[in-house]
Amino acid sequence: MTDGLYKKFARLSRADVDRLVAFVLHDDVLVRGLDKREWGTYRGGCAPYAALIAAVALWFAWDPMGLSRPVGQGLALAAAVLGTSSMVRTAIAALRSRKLLKREEGWVGLAWTKTEFCYRSLELCVLVPWSAVSKVEYIAEGEGRLLEDTLWIHLQDGDKVLIEPVDGSFGGRPVADWARDIEKMASRGRKKR
């Protein structure tokens, strides 16, 4: 697997899900930390509903907004299409999350081989070579109120992965332990660049 994957859960294709599942179950995986606790299903937020409300507002209130009728109604139709497609994507992601969370091996977690790193959650999924990891940053308790005991993995292209503990751990281990191990592997990947 040479090209990386960095996608929000709702944007995963079937091929992406199959690729992530196959990676975690592969024999070459050195570390596999899956969190099998009850996560609940995917929730997509309120953006689709906001787009539909904006569509209704634009359709009926184009004149007070200072828009011409074709522009106002065109924007209303665009907002309606955007809201509807987001609702469909959210529904598909919710169904997918139910199926994935029922699997025996679980969905949420971390895994890696000598060459690649994988993180799966109901928000973000990442599968990248270690050379793409530029920095591993653990924020210990007491260092930041809202971000304490979190792990940030910075990628070369500027993307970031946030790993937060649930009830003091993630994938069965404290986040600080994950940070040490991931930093070791990432430093090896940076040396190979």
Helix (H, G, I), strand (E, B) or coil at 36: coil
Domains of the chain are 5-36+105-192 (2.30.29), 47-101 (no CATH)
Backbone Cα Rg of the chain? 20
Q: Measured between alpha carbons, how far is 7 from 16 in angstroms, rounded to an integer? A: 9
Q: Enter the pTM of the model.
A: 0.75
**pLDDT one-digit tens code per residue, 41-75:** 777 778 888 989 999 998 898 888 888 989 999 99
**pLDDT one-digit tens code per residue, 158-177:** 899 998 887 778 877 888 88
Residue 90: its pLDDT value, please? 84
Q: pLDDT confidence of 119, banded at 50, 70, 90?
A: very high
Q: Measured between alpha carbons, how far is 123 from 107 in angstroms, rounded to an integer? A: 11
Query: pLDDT at residue 2 above 50?
Result: no
